[in-house]
């Protein structure tokens, strides 16, 4: 068997068996989507909250698997010298990173397979969704978030990395236009929030799914910029042991 396949299978099965990570990647997004769709307390500005929430929660799902789950897992692997030991096998760093990316995509597929039907069940009816555009957003977003997660994981110690990833997740969740509209944030904070990858991805998904367009707007530019800068930072910051 080739090494990439072996490592990918190991990564996917490890991730899907890890209950803490499943809580983060699947259970929390589903709970947020269901709860705030049924309990209309968020100032979503749409007639039905699910119309605002569904694209936002999909963006949250990407952030939780590509940044937090990947970042925490990789950070602990670094601490426990798993990466160091793999460095002395024929796997190679390129294929290790590739295996991790494939594992993230696999988790995202599971997330979407659950979240999209749940959103439909809650009454989400995007008028003219541009799924291809949304997929593009998810790919660019995945690259951006993976870069951020690995930048932290590659430098911080295990427990500190864990805290940083979770803290960042919470901050981006609140500021990211995922469940709270930018318009409800105070002016200066709103401006910062829009420049974050979380806000950009949520905006891109909302635009492509709700309005069917790939508005070549600021959000795309911001998201693409993060997808360039964050992996470059990760490459520079990452320490294998």
Helices 3-17 and 93-121, packing angle to 10 deg: 40
Contact between 105 and 8 under an 8 Å Cβ cutoff? The reply is no
Contact set for other proteins, span 14-33 (CB under 8 A): 14, 18
Tell the smallest beta-carbon distance from residue 209 to other proteins (Å). 36
Tell the smallest beta-carbon distance from residue 153 to other proteins (Å). 14
Cα 70 to Cα 139: distance, rounded to the nearest angstrom:
15
The residue among 82 and 113 lying less far from other proteins, judged by its C-beta, is 82
The residue among 119 and 162 lying less far from other proteins, judged by its C-beta, is 162
Tell the smallest beta-carbon distance from residue 87 to other proteins (Å). 7
Closest among 234, 219, 220 to 156, alpha carbons compared = 234
Segment near other proteins (CB under 8 A); pick from 56-64, 74-82, 162-170, 219-227: 74-82
The residue among 19 and 128 lying less far from other proteins, judged by its C-beta, is 19
CA angle 101, 105, 107 (to 5 degrees): 115
> Which residue has 């999209």 as its token pair?
116
Of the candidates 48, 76, 139, 195, which one interacts with other proteins according to CB under 8 A? 76
**Applying CB under 8 A, does 235 fall inside the site for other proteins?**
no
> Which residue has 């569904």 as its token pair?
54
Contact set for other proteins, span 81-100 (CB under 8 A): 81-82, 84-92
Tell the smallest beta-carbon distance from residue 152 to other proteins (Å). 19
Q: % helix / strand / coil in the chain, to the nearest 5?
A: 80, 0, 20
**Applying CB under 8 A, does 239 fall inside the site for other proteins?**
no
């Amino acid at each position: 068997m080739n090494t990439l396949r072996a490592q990918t299978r190991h990564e996917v099965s490890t991730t899907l068996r890890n209950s803490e990570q499943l809580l983060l990647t699947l259970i929390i997004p589903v709970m947020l989507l269901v709860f705030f769709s049924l309990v209309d307390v968020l100032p979503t500005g749409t007639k039905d909250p699910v119309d605002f929430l569904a694209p936002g929660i999909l963006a949250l799902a990407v952030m939780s698997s590509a940044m937090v789950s990947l970042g925490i897992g990789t950070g602990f692997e670094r601490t426990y010298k798993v990466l160091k030991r793999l460095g002395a096998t024929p796997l190679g760093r390129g294929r290790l990173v590739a295996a991790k990316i494939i594992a993230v995509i696999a988790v995202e597929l599971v997330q979407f397979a659950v979240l999209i039907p749940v959103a439909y069940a809650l009454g989400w009816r995007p008028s003219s969704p541009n799924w291809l555009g949304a997929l593009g957003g998810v790919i660019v977003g995945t690259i951006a978030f993976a870069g951020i997660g690995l930048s932290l994981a590659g430098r911080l110690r295990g427990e500190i990395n864990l805290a940083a990833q979770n803290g960042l997740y919470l901050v981006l969740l609140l500021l990211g236009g995922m469940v709270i509209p930018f318009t409800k944030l105070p002016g200066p904070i709103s401006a910062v929030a829009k420049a974050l990858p979380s806000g950009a991805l949520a905006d891109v998904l909302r635009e492509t799914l709700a309005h069917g367009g790939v508005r070549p707007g600021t959000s795309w530019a911001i998201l693409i910029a993060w997808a360039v800068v964050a992996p470059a930072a990760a490459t520079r910051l990452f320490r294998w042991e």
